[in-house]
Structure 1
């Protein structure tokens, strides 16, 4: 006989399974149809093929979009790490707790403000400056969007950082830059690299801010949006699957580095 506790347990399991299916069923379908040998997106699938991946990578527009997307991801990773690390160290050196909390809260605003507002605001700002839309404007937008997450990650690491080892190095005669390069940077490197990978992952699928600021340049999300307006092609499923794999790799790598820093 099934008890009331077992019924609640089964009910909770069914609910969790339903939520997971709701979240991941579209992703599974996209990946599945990227290997289907038929151009029609219908079940059952008769055979499997890699032709759609070859077709996607043979398209010069897709290759250009992928190159621009990787450039933006690299700029976001490097720029976000440099700006986020400098900001986190600067805030940590402030004496007033209220001022530190106010600055940290202000740094998180880009993660709260709708991306539509950020994209329009950046487009208007760049037009005011006379800057033409392009990859540079989009890269600045990507850094702005990823910066709150970089700051959060690095601030959490620096809150538990033992600065006494840095002070000991300074007492022994090491200049500030040497102490940073030899002591501080090796200790926080996993956090910095992990934050950079997270910034790159956020940049890969950023569409709204990019669309308002990239101009006539193409990135993968912008290109896919344009292609989807004409219908779903299996090569789009292949491109989406490649991006999914790249995002998973970046997120897993960032998570592993986060475990290393907390170990």
Structure 2
């Protein structure tokens, strides 16, 4: 009994240490974003929202935040639609070996280092004569988000009953009616959840963005540039806002995915 209790306490202590290791830096960033002192030191003198006001008053930050939201929306829509269509097409293939080969090929961008992808896209766009900017960056964000959308949609479609589509066609429904009334309502939650995941990945993407965004700014790129001059609570406020957006998107993606199952 004593041995089991000590083992249980040891396991809980280990889990607590791991959680502290993972989340202590994040807690510190959020905490220092509310401090009244411009110096990042303990103990905290007081709490204020002034650094968030300063962040929104900075045109560079508002422009970077707007660009990040635009990129996240494009990644969500582009990767969501392309990933859903690709996964649905794979499931319609009869040969399992070809299906597995296509799935493995679609997941390669998630395995290849982002540094390689960022440089490759920059070289490709330069060769095509496309100047750096949000357009090139959006293409890169769709590319790096697409494997995760495909993986999410493939897991949903593994349990999809394709016989319902055949039954609808036998009853005289057209291809469009079958998609509108049967297919899309069943896979819509998975598409929305995968799109939210793509948006979260886009908001956090730095390497591919850095090589392709040019003179524009996104939140990760701006934070990296500001960090070179030193850390102030305005940067912590910006990082906390980005963290809040990411958490909301991930929670929303998981919630929608669970409702679908």
Q: TM-score, normalised by structure 2?
A: 0.98
Alignment deviations for residues 170-194 of structure 1 (CA, whole Å, 9 cap, x no partner): 1122211221011100111100000
Q: Please give the root-mean-square deviation of Cα atoms over the aligned residues, in Å.
A: 0.9
Partner residue in 2 for 1:121: 120
Deviation at 1:117, TM superposition (A): 0.6
Partner residue in 1 for 2:217: 218
Alignment deviations for residues 110-156 of structure 1 (CA, whole Å, 9 cap, x no partner): 11111101101111111111111110110011011110110011111
Deviation at 1:92, TM superposition (A): 1.1
Deviation at 1:69, TM superposition (A): 0.2
Question: Any unmatched runs of 5+ in structure 2?
Answer: none
CA distance in 2, matches of 1:245, 1:113: 28
Partner residue in 2 for 1:182: 181
Alignment deviations for residues 13-39 of structure 1 (CA, whole Å, 9 cap, x no partner): 111111111111000000000000000
CA distance in 2, matches of 1:23, 1:119: 27
- Give the alignment of 1:34-49 within 5 angstroms: 34-49=33-48
CA distance in 1, matches of 2:15, 2:199: 30
Partner residue in 2 for 1:33: 32
Partner residue in 2 for 1:196: 195
Alignment deviations for residues 215-260 of structure 1 (CA, whole Å, 9 cap, x no partner): 1110010000000000001001001111111111111111111111
SS of alignment partner, residue 150 of structure 1: helix
Question: Any unmatched runs of 5+ in structure 1?
Answer: none
Partner residue in 2 for 1:101: 100
CA distance in 1, matches of 2:56, 2:176: 45
Q: TM-score, normalised by structure 1?
A: 0.97
Length, aligned pairs only? 261
CA distance in 2, matches of 1:168, 1:60: 57
CA distance in 1, matches of 2:90, 2:222: 39
Q: Which moved more, 1:75-84 or 1:165-174?
A: 165-174
